[in-house]
Structure 1
Amino acid sequence: MAKTKTKDPETILTETLNQQVANFSVLYMKLHHYHWYVKGENFFTLHVKFQDLYTETTLHLDTIAERMLALRALPTATLKDQLQLASVSEASGSETAQEMVQTLASDFDTICTELTEGITVAEDHDDQPTADLLIAIRASFEKHRWMLEAYLAT
């Protein structure tokens, strides 16, 4: 009977955080892409919104990476690795403004689900600072998801 290796809680927490570093890195570039290439009647509204979102995203990215470093873990720092680890995908380059918003709403939903899982892992590991950090990010992204979905309903 082969023994299966179970991961220790620190490894699980590190992998959870690292996936979010990857997600936020990919999301940051996607938001820049959308900011640069959005077209149409909602250009002025979306151009500014995408800039606001990538500005916030970079802050969350840095905070998560620095939390990993404080935990003596190394965040992923190459685009190749981030694209492999991320749950969200990069922009295709052919999205309409409506598709951009829909994709972001879906990405935010995915990230919120994963942040919820990360909060549980952090709490199970008695790591309240990490849980608090992820809770704050999730709350912000839940609000953005709601706003993007409300925009799509118009």
Structure 2
Amino acid sequence: MGLQTKVELQKELNVQIANWSVLYTKLHQHHWYVKGTSFFTLHGNFEELYNEAAATVDEIAERLLAIGGSPISTLKEFIETSTLKESTEPLSATEMVRSLVEDFSHINTQLKALAEHADKLEDNVTNDLAIGLSGKIEKHVWMLTAYLSE
């Protein structure tokens, strides 16, 4: 890997760490504040998703360390680096799900670019990681969108 492209790949991985960390917090917030007739369904689903987000942050950080990078690790860095926005206003259950569809779709677009970048650098492990996460996200978007169709 060339130095510049390796550094760029490491930056992309840190953006993923930041985005998944912000998403983790949003999912926790949604888990705590969801109300209404869908409470039981969404409360449990949000918990599953925030547990997955936590594991994803760890997986990405470990990959970054494996390729010689330094994962960001503070709340300040997460907020400064993330391309997602925090959820600061109360949302209805439907608005929560819509915001998650938007966030997952945004992350997925970036993961596809990361996979392409890693492929060009012949970094098969990072490419595989990004593609695998993209597949999970596509399933989440499908399921959350189906929920919105009720």
TM-score class, shorter-chain normalisation, is over 0.9
1:37 correspondence with 2:33: yes
* Per-residue Cα deviation, 1:83-136 (whole angstroms, up to 9, x for no partner): 111111122241111100000000000000000000011001110000001111
Residue 16 of structure 1 and its aligned partner are, at CA, apart by 0.6
Gaps of 5+ in 1: 1-6
1:91 correspondence with 2:87: yes
In 2, the alpha carbon distance for the partners of 1:63 and 1:81 equals 18
Match of 1:115 in 2: 111
Q: 1:21 aligns with which of 13, 17, 20?
A: 17
Q: Which structure 2 residues correspond to residues 1-154 of structure 1 after superposition, within 5 A?
A: 8-154=4-150
In 1, the alpha carbon distance for the partners of 2:133 and 2:105 equals 12
Which SS does the other structure have where 2:65 is aligned? Answer: helix
In 2, the alpha carbon distance for the partners of 1:148 and 1:87 equals 21
In 2, the alpha carbon distance for the partners of 1:96 and 1:127 equals 42
In 1, the alpha carbon distance for the partners of 2:122 and 2:13 equals 15
Gaps of 5+ in 2: none
In 2, the alpha carbon distance for the partners of 1:40 and 1:92 equals 20
Residue type at the aligned position of 2:6: E
TM-score for both structures, normalised by structure 2:
0.96
Residue type at the aligned position of 2:78: Q
* Moved segments of 4+, more than 4 Å: none
In 2, the alpha carbon distance for the partners of 1:86 and 1:148 equals 22
CA root-mean-square deviation: 0.9
Which SS does the other structure have where 1:8 is aligned? Answer: helix
Matched residues, number: 148
Larger radius of gyration: 1
